[in-house]
Structure 1
Amino acid sequence: MQLLSIFLQVSSGTSSWFTPVMMGGMILVFYFFMIRPQAKKAKQQKQFINDLQKGDKIVTIAGIHGKVNKVNDDNTLEMEVSPGSYIKIERSAISMEWTTNINKPAAEVKK
């Protein structure tokens, strides 16, 4: 029992600088592996949605495939799902991942 109390006293003296360093390290790991990539992906998604124009092939989050027919000023767009059939959707309902895969050549998608 006496050995345990001596060990705790010794280890508490060395942890005065070690604990803040470890906490700072954990914060850096969370930032670089979780927060930063999510912020970068959100920025790319916003840029992708802002750059949409007539004729772009898109896929909604719900999986509906079509072409942009008209881009409206009220954060919506008109999408042609089949010839002569149009639906109005919100810009935020567009999936960047699926759309970029649709627009890639077939040889790149198979890799």
Structure 2
Amino acid sequence: MLVTPAYAQAAGGGAGAAMQFLPLILIFAIMYFLMIRPQQKKLKEHKNMVSALKRGDQVVTQGGLIGKVTKVKDNNELEVELSEGVKVRVVQTTIAQVLNKTEPANN
């Protein structure tokens, strides 16, 4: 019998292969709950905030400009008045925060 010890040890390693993937699965699960899921939630909240913008809301852009929404356009644009007579066109998704929401007028 000329069987070397290396061949004799290699025969019984079936359960070890599944155990090698367990740490990778755990790392992915932790990354999902700590990084991916909160980012998706934040993105969904921002999308809802932007879609609820209306005329008269005071907003802050990502560039740090504070202004009042004067017009909401259909093509993903807003017209924001920065000061009296100074109006700029802004893409809706660049709104970082809504400072003051306007209440609907009761007519």
Q: What residue number does 2:22 align with?
A: 21
Equivalent residues, number: 92
3-state SS, counterpart of residue 63 of structure 1: coil
Uncovered stretches (5+) of structure 1, i.e. residues with no partner: 1-8, 104-111
User: TM-score if structure 2 supplies the norm length?
Assistant: 0.74
Whole-angstrom distance in 2 between the partners of 1:30 and 1:16: 23
| 1:41 aligned onto 2:48 | no
Q: Which moved more, 1:51-60 or 1:82-91?
A: 82-91
RMSD: 2.4
Task: Deviation per CA, 1:2-56: give whole Å up to 9, x if none.
Answer: xxxxxxx7xx957433222111101101111111111111111111110001111
Whole-angstrom distance in 1 between the partners of 2:90 and 2:18: 55
User: TM-score if structure 1 supplies the norm length?
Assistant: 0.71
Which structure shows the higher strand fraction?
A: 2
Identity among equivalent positions (%) equals 37
Q: What residue number does 2:93 align with?
A: 92
Uncovered stretches (5+) of structure 2, i.e. residues with no partner: 1-8, 101-107
Task: Deviation per CA, 1:58-90: give whole Å up to 9, x if none.
Answer: 111111100111100111011011122211111
